[in-house]
Every structure is written in structure tokens, then in C-alpha cells.
A and B are shown apart, each in its own frame.
Chain A
Amino acid sequence: MQTVKMVITGPFNAGKTSFIRSVSEIDVVSTERKISSKAERVKETTTVAMDFGRITVDDALVLYLFGTPGQKRFDFMWEILSEGMLGFVVIVDSARPETFREAMGILHTFRAYAPTPYVVAANKQDMKDSWSVDDLRIALKLSDDIKMLPCVASDKESVKKVLLELLYSILEEMDAKQGA
């Protein structure tokens, strides 16, 4: 049995756990915990170590989705999680500009760990205050060649689309490498 993994990252509360939950065939093994610090209590629980979802591809192949913890003090987990990944998804809460700067920081950090393909998911597009994908691209200073997709993490079709785009990018990169 072969296993491969992808990493789902992004700032605190961006929707990483929801994203994995939408497509995982097992209940997401989430290391969530009640939030104690007042500042971060926009919701009840947060991921403290990682999320862990699974998609069985066939008899011989399993894909794992790892979600990073969103809070800054768990940074040390990132490098461990990135080890050997096929690619990663950066989830951004499109309705909270106060998280954009951090999202950019996370993006740069992950890019430094491994130059693997990635896509950016502009999440919570169903919310009234969400920024459009085009505006987010400028706000996050992402050049046109970086794939950015609208996303609603609770919607399975939307999550599938993001994962597929990442997989297409991985294929493209392999083609490019082979051509070179």
C-alpha cells in the first residue's frame, strides 16, 4: 500500500478543518480543543496539532490530507507536516482582511519548505463580506500564474474542484520537468 499526502494550510479560522471534512471518508481525526485565549475566541474550538483526513484511491493507494493548526504558536508543526507532500492548498478567509497579511506569510513559509505546486482557495465566498477572487489576488500580491479558486469549504463540489486544480498543477509541473 502506497500513501501520498497533501497539506491544507492557512490562517486561524480560515476553514481548513471544514475543507478536509467535506471530502474525507473517515471522520476527520482532528486535534481540536476549546479555545482558552479570549483574543482568539471567535469560535469554540481550534485545531491544535493537525487535522487528518483520508481518501482511499484504490487497493494500492491512499491519499492523506493534513490540515495544519491555524494558530501561530504551532508553527513548528508545519515543517514536519510538509515533509514529502505532493502539494499544498492555502485557505484564505475571503471575508477577513485582517488575516490576509498572515496568509501571505504562511504562503511564503511553505514555498520555502518545498517548491511543490500549490493553489490558493479563496474560502467563504458565500459570505456577504467576502472579497472577490480578483481583489484577493491583488491584496495577496499573487501573480497571474498562481492558481486561485473561489471556495466554500463546507461544499464538497467546491472542495473537489480545488483539489483537482492542485492535481492538474502537479501534472503540469511533471510535464514541464520531463520536457526540460
Chain B
Amino acid sequence: MAIKGHLRDFSVAQLFNLINLAQKSGTLTLDAADQAAWVSFRAGKLIYAQLGEEDGTIMHILVKAGRLTDRQAKMITTHSSSKGDKEMGLYLINADYLTQKDILATLRSHILDIVFQLFTWTDGFFRFDPNVLPPEDRITVHMDLENLIIEGSRRVQEWDHLDDEIPNLEMALKFVDRPGADIQNVKLNPKEWEVVSYVDPKNSIKQIAKAVKLNDLEIRRIVYGLLQAGLIEIVRPESMPQPAHAPRIRPLDERVQATLIDRIIDRIRSL
């Protein structure tokens, strides 16, 4: 079993959606022409991310974010015997350089920066290695993917496959009843909230777009984000008639037909 392929065929948003819904643990490797990235998850939550060429140690991240100066960092590294990030973090806290809250907030925003960047990657290969996690000494975070997917989807630039993902605007939307999928916990912008307020199997996507004054592309983009975040699903609207060509099964008397199916079942079992 493997999950691998090309980002053209399966986007970063779709990969995050898969990891979120299947609550996967492991590391996603993205390999683009000139860069690579690793993103790790535990039980469907984001815990770590690193860009290929970048120094991912906590010291480097804190310097980059301006939380420590180069001089401080050099001094600390030469004075402390510890190597791992966790030990280094403890040292920084104990020596009163930073609080635990500072360190985690800086790390979190560093990881988010990387992850949001990945949503713009459309060319490259991906591979998910289950149960491969960052080295023990790394400090990890714990972030829900729903918000991330919505925020990341806002940054997607290329929408080549949007029509394939949401082919029919006559369809309606409905909230999924999945544990953990709570729209209340998601940070949406006002336009997205407007769309969400119309989510109902009675309203077609087209009607929603009209009500909130969005064009086809704009409504598709918002629906795409909510879909990939696993918060809504596409359903046939209540008002939509069944397809014009009605069931074409031969109009047999139903009892006869059930026995006919039973006969086929017996035959196939005996093959």
C-alpha cells in the first residue's frame, strides 16, 4: 500500500484532506523540480514541516523570526552542550531567554509559513510514508487541518482542475456529520460565512452564488476549500428531478425479478 503520485493529479489540499479524514500518522514528502519539503502528521494533525534546503533547528527558526539575535544564538550554542531541539528549548526557557509560549508560537508560525507555501505547488511528486515521524529531539506542534486547508486553499493560484472537482453547479451542499467537523471552529472570512449560511440541500450552488453575488470561479473556489476541509459535501438538491431517462431496468414484476437475481447469485457463487 502506498500513497504516491503527482501533484497535478492530486493536490496538496486533497492530500491534507485525505490525511485529515483518515487520521493518518506519517510524513508527506513533496518533491518539486527545484525544492522539496517534508510535512509530518500524527493522527491527522499537523505536527512538523521542513523545507528541503533549510536548517530546521529551533535555533535557526528563532533567529530567522528575530526572537534571538545571531550573537545570542552563537553564544548559546557554544555554551550549551546539548544538541537536540527539545534540550535547547528547555535551556532557553531556564536561562530566561524566551518562554515556552514564545518558542511554540514562533515554531507554529514557521511551520504554517512552509505549509501555506506548499499549497501553491502544483508541479511535483508526493509520497506519504506512514509512521515515519520527525526525529525524537524535535519540538512538534499539534494543529487541526480544517483551518489550514481553508486558509491554504485561499492561496492556490492555479485552478486548472476546478471544473473537474466541482463539475455541476446545479448540485447542492450539505454539512457532513463527521465527528470533529464543526464549522463553528473554523476561521472563515465574511464572504465564506455568507456562503456557509446558505448551505442546505434545498439550495443549488448556483443559487448560493447568485444570492451572495459571486461568479462561477469564485463560488467554486470557496466550495473547493470547504470540501477539502471535509466540512461540506456535494449532494443532489431536493428539488432536482431524477434524470430524464428513468430507470431502464426491464419492467418485470418485482417478485419475479428478485428470484431472477437470486438465480444469478447462485450461478456466480458456483463459478
Interface size on B, residues (CB 8 A): 42
A107-145 interface with B by 8 A CB criterion: 108, 112-116, 128-132, 134-135, 138-139, 141, 143
- Chain B CB within 8 A of A163 CB: yes
CA distance A143 to B168 in the complex (A): 18
Contacts of B227 in A (CB 8 A): 141
Verify A55–B269 contact, CB threshold 8 A.
no
Number of A residues near B (Cβ < 8 Å) is 50
Q: Does A98 contact B (CB under 8 A)?
A: yes
Question: In the complex, which of the residues B2, B234, B269 contacts A129, with contact meaning CB atoms closer than 8 Å?
Answer: B2
Whether the pair B263, A58 counts as a contact (CB closer than 8 A) is: yes
Task: Report the minimum CB–CB distance from A145 to chain B (whole Å).
Answer: 12
Q: Which residue of B lies closest to A163 (CB)?
A: B268
Q: Is B233 an interface residue (CB 8 A)?
A: yes
Collect the chain A residues with CB atoms within 8 Å of residue B9's CB.
97-98, 100-101
Q: Complex: how many Å from CA A82 to CA B245?
A: 11
B162: min CB distance to chain A, Å: 12
Pairs of residues from A and B, 4 with the lowest C-beta to C-beta distance, nearest first: A97-B5, A98-B9, A57-B267, A129-B2
A127 to chain B: closest residue by CB? B2
CB under 8 Å from chain B, chain A span 15-61? 23, 55-58, 61
Q: Give the residues from 144 to 180 in chain A that come closer than 8 angstroms, CB to CB, to chain B.
A: 156, 160, 163-164, 167-168, 170-171, 174-175, 177-178
With A57-B267, A100-B9 given, can you name 9 additional A-B contacts, CB distance below 8 Å? A4-B264, A23-B271, A85-B249, A86-B261, A100-B10, A114-B245, A115-B243, A130-B2, A139-B18
Q: Is the CB of A160 within 8 A of B10?
A: no
Contacts of A86 in B (CB 8 A): 249, 261
* Interface flags, B240-271, vs A, CB<8A=1, else 0: 00110101111000100110111111011101
Q: Is the C-beta of B164 less than 8 angstroms from some C-beta in chain A?
A: yes
B21, CB-defined interface residue at 8 Å: yes
Q: Chain B nearest CB: distance from A132 CB in Å?
A: 5
